[in-house]
Amino acid sequence: MDKHKLNIDTSQNILDNNSKLKTQNSKILDIQNLNTGYGKKQVLFDVSLQVEKGKTILLVGANGSGKSSLLKAIFGIIPLWSGEVWFKGQTLHNAEQKLKTQQSKLITKGIMYLPQKDELFEDMSVKENLETSILHLPDKKEQKQNLAHIWEQMPVLKDKKDQLANRLSGGERKMISLGMALLNKPKLLLFDEPFAGLSEKNMDMLMQSLEKIQQNGTTLVIIEHRIKKLLNFANRVIGLKLGRLHTDNLETLDNIKKFLI
Ligand SMILES: Nc1ncnc2c1ncn2[C@@H]1O[C@H](COP(=O)(O)OP(=O)(O)OP(=O)(O)O)[C@@H](O)[C@H]1O
Ligand SMILES: [Mg+2]
């Protein structure tokens, strides 16, 4: 009798899990009722967000509204107080079971995070910086192929491959960071203020790379204050105000401006 009950329970569980997986699979990223903060200070309140595979999301909000904190929570840099983060139908982080996926594992799963400030090895060349992202690959041929692909995608880096990172412009440094991220073949790229501090020319150069990444089917979540630049590029604009997510009426520049006031 007990055994029979156990069988029924198990098959029901499998059914439940399968249907959960099915709905989760249509979204690459699924954030459910996320609350978090620093110390005792709460900065994100009940944030829920679903991102479809291959889409580009532009995340806007005033200074201090919690944008960077949201990306940090997705990438496991800050722990959740409550809620869950799912990626391709699997839980990455939750609060209840104290699950927190390590960053190296997140990268293997296909998630890359580029913080507001780049983190390059200053006294290493462009090529050496890029190589730090492929050294873990056991196959030397694969290492070479991946690097060749980056030279092809980002010719500006190829032209400067022997220059030290600390001799490069802000835009070129951003391109190296992006190149390093791409070497890990991300399916989801979280990019915090790609255009911060860049000249118009460098922004255009970076934009061209982002367009290629988008065309390759990578899902992008981008935080930017340069909204005009990205409005047509993004499939969806979402906003954060005082740590709460707003998803409606953010299709036009005028509405976004009103939201930001
Ligand atoms: N390490 C930290 N320790 C304590 N509080 C922090 C920390 N980082 C951020 N905060 C606070 O959390 C809130 C949200 O900050 P966050 O950096 O997420 O904002 P943001 O929307 O990215 O702002 P910006 O547009 O200026 O980059 C702010 O009140 C900020 O002061
Ligand atoms: Mg920020």
Q: What is the pLDDT of residue 137?
A: 80
DSSP code at position 2: H
DSSP β-ladder status, 219-223 and 56-61: parallel
Q: pLDDT tens-digit profile of 70-116? A: 999 999 999 999 999 999 999 999 998 889 999 989 999 999 999 98
pTM of the model as a whole: 0.89
Is 112 buried (19+), middle (13-18) or exposed (0-12) by CB count in 10 A? buried
Q: Is the CB of 38 under 6 A from ligand 1?
A: yes
Select from 34, 41, 71, 226 the residue to mutate for testing ligand 1; criterion: most ligand atoms less than 8 Å from CB.
41
The whole-angstrom separation of Cα 72 and Cα 192 is: 10
The whole-angstrom separation of Cα 193 and Cα 103 is: 20
The answer to whether residues 67 and 49 touch, using CB atoms and an 8 Å cutoff, is: no
CATH number of 53-76+104-260: 3.40.50.300
Q: Is the CB of 65 under 6 A from ligand 1?
A: yes
Report the nearest atom of ligand 1 relative to the CA of 243.
Answer: 14
The amino acid sitting at 65 is S
**Per-domain residue ranges of the chain:** 53-76+104-260
Lowest mean pLDDT across 9-23, 134-148, 242-256:
9-23
Q: What is the pLDDT of residue 21?
A: 53
The answer to whether residues 35 and 74 touch, using CB atoms and an 8 Å cutoff, is: no
Q: What is the pLDDT of residue 25?
A: 57
